[in-house]
Every structure is written in C-alpha cells, then in structure tokens.
Amino acid sequence: MKAPLALAAVLAASLAAIPAPAQQGPAAQVNGPELGEVLVTANRQTTRFYQQDRPFVGLRRRADSAVMWFTISSDTRDEPTRRQEIHTVLLGALDRAAAAGFEIVSGNSQLQTVTRENYKSLPIEWAGRVDTGKVQVMARAKLTGSAQETQGRLQAFVWSLKKTGRATVETGGGISLTVINPDQYREAIIGLVAQDARRTAALFGPEFTFNLSGIDGQVAWSQVSSTDVFLYIPYRYSIVPK
C-alpha cells in the first residue's frame, strides 16, 4: 500500500454517478464545505479552514487516518547511553502501538511506517540543550467516530508510553489528517469538474459552451472540517459562445 500523505490540515468517496475509486469511504460532496448560516458583517476569509486559492468543485471525503506527533528525548550525557534510551522507548512504543491497533510513522509530508527493522535508522536530532537528543515520530490511528474521540485515543496512547532512564515523551496533543494516495481520485475529480462546467454553460443557453484550463495539474488537498479533506485540481473555466 502506498504511503499516505499528511494533510495540514490534511487532508472517502465519489458521487454515485462517477466510477468509485479504490479505498472508497463515506459519500462525497462535489464542492467545498457548506457554510450554513453566516454573519453578513463577516466575510468568507474569516471562516474556519478557508483557503483562498481552492476551487469550488472537487471531491470531499473523510480522511483515512489521524496522526499525533510525539517526541522522545534524552539528556543523558553519554551519547551511546542516550541513544539506547531513546531507542528503548521507541521500541516500546512500537510494541504498544501494535497491541492497541495503532502504527508509528515518520515523515514531514509522505509518511513511512516505523518498524522493528528500521527504527534505529531514524535520525536522532539535537534537542536544543547540551548533550540532549530527540526523535520525532507520529502515532497513527484510523479516523473512527469524531475527531475528538480519535484525538483522545491517540493522546492516551502517547501518555501510556513508558520512560527509560532519562528519556521522556512529550506531545502537543493535536492531530493532523491523512489521505492515502490522493492521485487515485484524479479521474473522479475531473468528472466532477466536467459536470459542473457543462451544467453552468447550459444555464446561459444552447449557444454557449466552456473553455477549461488547468485540469492537467496535480491533485491538491486541504482540510475542510475536523474530519474531512477536499481533493481538487486547480482548474479554471470560462463560459464562451460556441
């Protein structure tokens, strides 16, 4: 399985009229988040998860997973002992994650699973103090129930990790969303854009059509709610006479 991409908010389904891509989930929406009732003294830019350059039509779906960053650090002066303490805590995290149905992953964009075979290859970085090192990884969980429930499960897992020597575990407690292989939804997104362009042109009468550009761009993504992401291609179209 391809590694998921973390969504900043990062970031499962297509419309019934569009062939369903692999790893499909709950029903999708063809456009951005519905705003509901808004204050007319406010503006769209003040709404949560607003993104200025995001087009209106795309594929909204529930994220595949949620991740929570945590840091394992040690300030033991002896470097081999410091490294061993960090690795011992990380190895314990791997075992606890497997038992709890979680995974340990690493990476700033494209995520890679941390395993008993590769955990020692993670870089131990300087932690800002003399003779202090750290490893930063994430706990990953399937996004089931609400975002708050998933965050609580991940938080409890991180808090349960056992310390060794002078090694400690810290987390900010927030979560980020992930989507597995966004490019698999490319055909569905193009179909939605084509539907919208045809429907909009038809509103102007049979003598009008549309010019479409940017549809060859890469699939992009943004977060649109605490559990949902919006996958899109940065297209533009204009309505023109035939």
Q: What is the pLDDT of residue 13?
A: 30
CB atoms within 10 A of CB 7: 23
Cβ contact 60:221 at 8 Å:
no
What are the tokens at 206? 């049979």
Q: How many CB atoms lie within 10 A of CB 103?
A: 19
What would the two tokens of residue 211 be? 């010019």
Which residues of the chain form CATH 3.30.70.1440? 65-178
d(CA 89, CA 161): 7
* Predicted pLDDT at 97: 97
Please, are residues 190 and 233 in contact by the beta-carbon 8 Å criterion? yes
The per-residue pLDDT string of the chain (242 residues; one tens digit each, 9 = 90 and over) reads 444 444 433 333 322 233 333 334 434 445 555 666 666 766 666 666 766 778 989 999 999 999 999 999 999 999 999 999 999 999 999 999 999 999 999 998 899 999 999 999 999 999 988 899 999 999 999 998 899 999 999 999 999 999 999 999 999 989 999 999 999 999 999 999 999 999 999 999 999 999 999 999 999 999 999 999 999 999 999 999 99
How far apart are the C-alpha atoms of 97 and 115, rounded to whole Å? 11
Write down the H helix ranges in 66-159.
79-100, 147-159
- Region class of 195: left (phi > 0), else alpha (psi between -120 and 50), else beta: alpha
For residues 18 and 30, the answer to whether their CB atoms sit within 8 Å is: no
CATH architecture of 65-178: 2-Layer Sandwich (3.30)
Q: What pLDDT is attached to residue 217? A: 93
Pairing of strands 133-142, 125-126: antiparallel
Q: Which pLDDT score is estimated for 53?
A: 78
Torsion angles phi and psi, residue 125, rounded to 5: -95, 160
Residue 46 is predicted with a pLDDT of 65
- For residue range 164-210, what is the model confidence (pLDDT) as tens digits? 999 999 999 899 999 999 999 999 999 999 999 999 999 999 999 99
DSSP string, 149-161: HHHHHHHHHHHTP
Residue 14: both structure tokens together: 């297509």
Q: Are strands 228-232 and 57-62 parallel, antiparallel or unpaired?
A: antiparallel
d(CA 37, CA 133): 49
Q: Please state, in angstroms and rounded to a whole number, the distance separating the CA atoms of residues 235 and 190.
A: 9
